[in-house]
Chain A
Amino acid sequence: MTLLFKHYYAIGLLLLTLIWCHLVSAAPASIKIGEINPLSGRLAKQGLEIHQGVEVAVAEINETGGLEGRRVELISRDDQSQPDVAIARAEELCAWKKVLGLTGGYVDSLVGPISEVAKKYKVPYVASASLQKELTQRDNPYFFRVATLQGFVKPLCTIISRHFKPQHLAILHAATPGSTEFARDLESCLESHSVAVELMEKFRPGTPDFTPLIGKLASMDIDVVVSGGFFADHLLLVRQLKENRVCPKAYIGPFGIAYESFIREMGDDANYLFSTCAWNPGITQPGTEKDSKNFVDRFRRMFDREPNTTNMHGYTSTRALLAAMQHVLRQRKPLTGPNIRQALAELNLDLPMERLSFDRHGDPRNYHHVVVQIQKGRLVAVYPSDRATGSAIYPVPSWSQRK
Chain B
Amino acid sequence: MWTTVLVSGITLGCFYTLIAMGFALIFGVTHIFNLAHGELLVLAGYVAYWLWKTLGLSFVYTFPAAILAALLVCLVLQRLFSLLSEPLELNSIVVSFGVAILLQNGMLFFFSGDYRLIRIPALSHGLHLQPFYLSYAQLTLLVLSLLVIMILYLLMRHTYMGKALRATIQDKEAAALAGINVGAMGILAFAIGAVLIGLAGPLYGCIHYLYPTAGLQATLLAITITIFAGIGRIRELILGGWILGLAESFAVVLLGASWREMVSAVMLLLLLAINPQGILGKEER
**B213 and A209 form a contact (CB under 8 A):** no
Q: Which residue of B lies closest to A256 (CB)?
A: B115
From B12, B116, B212, A208 is in contact (CB under 8 Å) with B12
A48 within 8 A of B: yes
Contacts of B249 in A (CB 8 A): 209, 211-212
Interface residues of A in 193-244 (CB under 8 A from B): 201-204, 206-209, 211-216, 218-219, 231-232, 235-236, 239, 242-244
Stretch in A259-267, A313-321, A349-357, A373-381 touching the partner: A259-267
CA distance A214 to B133 in the complex (A): 12
B77 within 8 A of A: no
**B213 and A232 form a contact (CB under 8 A):** no
A40 within 8 A of B: yes
From B5, B115, B133, A212 is in contact (CB under 8 Å) with B5
Kindly provide the distance from the CB of B99 to the nearest chain A CB, expressed in whole angstroms: 16
Kindly provide the distance from the CB of A311 to the nearest chain B CB, expressed in whole angstroms: 13
Which secondary structure dominates chain B's binding surface?
Answer: helix
B173 within 8 A of A: no
Q: Which residue of B lies closest to A211 (CB)?
A: B8
CA distance A175 to B11 in the complex (A): 25
A41 within 8 A of B: yes
Contacts of B245 in A (CB 8 A): 209
B211 within 8 A of A: yes
**A40 and B15 form a contact (CB under 8 A):** no
**B209 and A232 form a contact (CB under 8 A):** yes
Q: Which residue of A lies closest to B212 (CB)?
A: A44
Contacts of A216 in B (CB 8 A): 1, 252-253
**B114 and A261 form a contact (CB under 8 A):** yes
CA distance A172 to B8 in the complex (A): 19
Kindly provide the distance from the CB of A51 to the nearest chain B CB, expressed in whole angstroms: 11
Contacts of A203 in B (CB 8 A): 257-258, 260
Say whether, besides A212-B252, A265-B116, A265-B117, A245 and B260 are in contact (CB < 8 Å): no
Which of A45, A172, A236 has the most chain B CB within a 10 Å cutoff?
A: A45
Interface residues of B in 19-69 (CB under 8 A from A): none
Say whether, besides A208-B208, A211-B4, A218-B1, A201 and B124 are in contact (CB < 8 Å): no
Contacts of B108 in A (CB 8 A): 40, 44
Chain A proximity mask over B152-183: 1 for CB below 8 Å, otherwise 0: 00000000000000000000000000000000
Q: Which residue of B lies closest to A45 (CB)?
A: B113
Chain B residues at the A interface, C-beta cutoff of 8 Å = 1, 4-5, 8-9, 11-12, 15, 104-105, 108, 112-117, 119, 123-124, 126, 133, 135, 137-138, 208-209, 211-213, 216-217, 245, 248-250, 252-253, 256-258, 260-261
Chain A residues at the B interface, C-beta cutoff of 8 Å = 40-42, 44-48, 81, 172, 175, 201-204, 206-209, 211-216, 218-219, 231-232, 235-236, 239, 242-245, 261, 265-267, 269
Sample (9) of A-B pairs whose CB atoms are under 8 Å apart: A201-B257, A207-B260, A208-B217, A211-B4, A211-B12, A211-B249, A212-B249, A232-B115, A265-B119
